[in-house]
């Protein structure tokens, strides 16, 4: 199920109005606003898929580490604001957040899809290298694309521990990736426009390929 950005924003802010934001963010996204300079000027270059626990740019730790049947999107929002926001921004860095709740997967639209990711390659190259796996280092230092020009999809939990069903890959492919591929006529092949950064061995990209078709 895809939950719109407007509904996600209302859901998240209902119970989080009194959060005290950390005054010393690791990465300052406090200037992240829906203004012209933060919008895509051309079509997105592709997709970056990460999990929340091992996230190469905005890691959310120590919890939630396992994506259980309970709703953790509130915790993701709270921790992001505490760790990475200086003035309590209302947007998450990722365009989509995928979570398993009760017995199904939900997709939260947590950032307008016409807005860029809030940091660039240059913003993080000197700050996050200790967190990066080989795939992330190749992507960043070969300057394949700038992370600000990509659509970012966050999977709640730790992809080294969580178990993903066929339905998960179907939801991820058909609801988050395929619409952009069709609309912008992007290449379907992995390694061309879809990148998995700091993703653990429990996530199998090969199972996603069958659901990524125009």
Is the confidence at residue 68, as pLDDT, over 70?
A: yes
Secondary structure of the chain in the HEC alphabet?
CEECHHHHHHHHHHCCCCCCCCCCCCCCCCCCCCCHHHECCCCCCCEEEEECCCCCCCCCCCCCCCCCCCCCHHHHHHHHHHHHCCCCCCCCCCCEEEEEECCEEEEEECCCCCECCCCCHHHHCCCCHHHCCHHHHHHHHCCCCCHHHCEEEEECCCCCCCCCCHHHHHHHHHHHHHHHHHHHCCCCCCCCCEEECCCCCCCCHHHHHCCCCC
Name the least confident of 150-159, 174-183, 205-214.
205-214
pLDDT tens-digit readout, 155-193: 999 999 999 999 999 999 999 999 999 999 888 776 689
pLDDT category at 3 given cuts 50, 70, 90 is low
Is the confidence at residue 108, as pLDDT, over 60?
A: yes
Is the confidence at residue 82, as pLDDT, over 90?
A: no
Instruction: Out of 9-23, 59-73, 78-92, 198-212, give the one with best mean pLDDT.
Output: 198-212
Closest of 72, 61, 74 to residue 19, by C-alpha = 74
Structure tokens at 3: 């939950």
Domain boundary assignment for the chain = 2-16+40-209
What average pLDDT does this structure show over 2-21? 49
Domain 2-16+40-209 carries which CATH code?
3.40.80
Q: How many CB atoms lie within 10 A of CB 208?
A: 20
pLDDT given for residue 17 in this prediction: 37
Q: How many CB atoms lie within 10 A of CB 50?
A: 23
Is the confidence at residue 23, as pLDDT, over 50?
A: no
């Amino acid at each position: 199920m895809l939950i719109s950005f407007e509904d996600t924003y209302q859901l998240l802010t209902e119970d989080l109005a009194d959060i005290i934001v950390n005054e010393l963010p690791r990465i300052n996204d406090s200037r992240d606003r829906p203004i012209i300079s933060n919008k895509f000027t051309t079509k997105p270059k592709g997709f970056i898929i990460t999990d929340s626990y091992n996230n190469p740019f905005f890691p959310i730790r120590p919890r939630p580490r396992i994506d259980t049947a309970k709703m953790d999107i509130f915790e993701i929002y709270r921790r992001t604001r505490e760790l990475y926001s200086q003035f309590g921004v209302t947007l998450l860095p990722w365009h989509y957040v995928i979570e398993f709740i009760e017995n199904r997967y939900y997709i939260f639209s947590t950032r307008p899809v016409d807005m860029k990711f809030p940091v660039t390659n240059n913003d993080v190259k000197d700050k996050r290298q200790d967190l990066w796996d080989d795939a992330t280092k190749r992507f960043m230092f070969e300057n394949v694309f700038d992370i600000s020009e990509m659509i970012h999809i966050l999977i709640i939990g730790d992809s080294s521990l969580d178990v993903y069903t066929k339905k998960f890959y179907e939801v991820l492919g058909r609801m988050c990736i395929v619409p952009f591929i069709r609309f912008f006529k992007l290449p379907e092949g992995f390694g061309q426009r879809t990148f998995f950064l700091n993703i653990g061995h429990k996530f199998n990209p090969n199972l996603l390929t069958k659901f990524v078709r125009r």
